Homo-oligomer: A and B are copies of this chain.
Amino acid sequence: MSKNDPKRVHSRRAVLRAGLAGGAAALAPLSAASAQTNPANLPPNVADWTKMLGEGVAARPYGKPSKHEAHVGRRDVSWLTASPQSSVSFTPLHEIDGVITPNGLCFERHHAGIAELNSADYRLMLHGLVDKPLIFTLDDIKRMPRVNRAYFCECAANSGMEWRGAQLNGCQYTHGMVHCVMYTGVPLKVLLNEAGLKPKAKWLLLEGGDSAAMTRSLPLAKALDDVLIAYRMNGEMLYPENGYPVRVVVPGWEANMWVKWLRRIEVGDEPWHTREETSKYTDLLEGGQARRFTYLMEAKSVITNPSPQAPLKHKSGFTVLSGIAWSGRGKIARVDVSLDGGRNWRTAKIDGPAWDKALTRFYYEFEWDGSELLLQSRAMDESGYVQPSKAELRKYRGVNSIYHNNGIQTWQLHKNGEVENVEVG
């Protein structure tokens, strides 16, 4: 098992260390972060690209990353699942920055593989407790009023392996079932208004066009609030693995409800109790009872850099911790960072957009003295909700759950710059 294997388990309880110099360091001058090399020392083996004529504009109608970035990709965990068709691949959170996830790197979760719909064949049926059942083509949907909104999309099972302790070594594996793109879509209420709701309407069934026929019940109040019938991500049409040509966007709620390859919406008066809201996507408590319809993704955060797949390359000096925070309740109000496993907290800087129910980027700059640190981040949202420790979470939820683990993550930064997934006790 290699050092970067996600299965590498680090469940030992790290001891809190006293007297962390990093804990007291003020923001130091930046000089330690720059090479300060004298230009005369430029290594002779650096290529001079000005002597080479490059490829022309006609080569690639659709661009792609540099071949030198081939290591940046989604990673799957086929060893966890029965087949690659019912499996997951993770966003490389440690290899991206800002708040927009590039379309090519959005995590995947399929229950029967990627349905390769084409847009000409696409139909969306809207029926049930409506005045006028409707079928929409893709052209119909594209012709309607639309909005552009960025939202995080997080699988309820994100961080699910961590319920029983530090399990997976790598931010991509512990937290990579989340992405955030700018969606273009029609508010679902526009479609419902077109069909006309009957007085008894209270719930919607969303059905996917894949061979899992993914079905989830959605309360009407949410449907009339901010749910989108989306067909674009970051400006272009949805990628096949994200539901091309049409998926549901349910802001702040678990990704399983964001039905992909959407083919049918039925309006009813009670939930359908489908497989994905009874035997799956429920939270088994200690006493044997299960929480159901736990849609909301609570406030959460993680330090993406440094992290086990992204060690520090310097041995001390000016250091930027980078991470993401998000909450299904609304905007992120504040993120705090600890360098000593939760004893002392400092407020991080939020940079870039801090949208409603979207990934929010934070940075914490400090002078690292080269000692071992226990790195944590803690998100607070505009509702006042504070991300709990794993211990607090287990107090109420036990360790039988798979879903909805939003506990505080701890990374142990070693003196050599390497980082491990650990638990503090």
A interface list, Cβ under 8 A from B: 30-31, 33-39, 41-42, 45-47, 49-69, 72-76, 78, 83-85, 87-89, 95-106, 108-110, 112-121, 123, 125, 127, 132-137, 139-140, 143-149, 182, 184, 190-191, 193-194, 209-211, 213, 232, 234-242, 244-245, 261, 263, 313-314, 318-320, 351-353, 361, 363, 365
Asked if B84 and A56 make an inter-chain contact with CB atoms under 8 angstroms apart, the answer reads yes
A36-B132, A134-B34 known; A105+B64 contact, CB < 8 A: no
Kindly report which residue of chain B lies nearest to residue A123, judged by CB atoms.
B46
Cross-chain contact B148 with A194 (CB below 8 angstroms) = no
Shortest Cβ gap from A118 to chain B (Å) = 5
**Structural contact, A33 and B125, CB atoms closer than 8 A:** no
Complexed CA–CA distance, A213 and B100 (Å):
32
Instruction: For A30, give its contact among B73, B194, B210, B239 (CB under 8 Å).
Output: B194
**B55 near A97 (CB under 8 angstroms)?**
no
Give the Cβ gap from A102 to chain B, nearest Cβ, in Å: 5
Given A42-B123, A57-B84, A147-B351; 4 other pairs, CB 8 A cutoff: A37-B135, A55-B114, A65-B236, A98-B234
- With contacts A35-B136, A59-B84 taken as known, whether A66 is within 8 angstroms of B211 at the C-beta atoms is no
A88 CA / B47 CA spacing, docked (Å): 26
* Residue in chain B with minimal CB distance to A73: B61
Docked CA distance A140–B392 (Å): 39
Whether the pair A108, B57 counts as a contact (CB closer than 8 A) is: yes
Residue of B nearest to A113 (CB): B54
Residues of B within 8 A of A49 (CB): 115-117, 209-211, 261, 263
* Nearest-Cβ distance from residue A174 to partner chain B, whole angstroms: 18
Q: Are B235 and A100 in contact (CB under 8 A)?
A: yes
> Of B36, B55, B102, B134, which one neighbours A113 at CB under 8 angstroms?
B55
In contact, A135 and B232 (Cβ under 8 angstroms): no
B351 lies within 8 A of A53 (CB):
no
Q: Which residues of B contact A52 (CB under 8 A)?
A: 115-116, 211
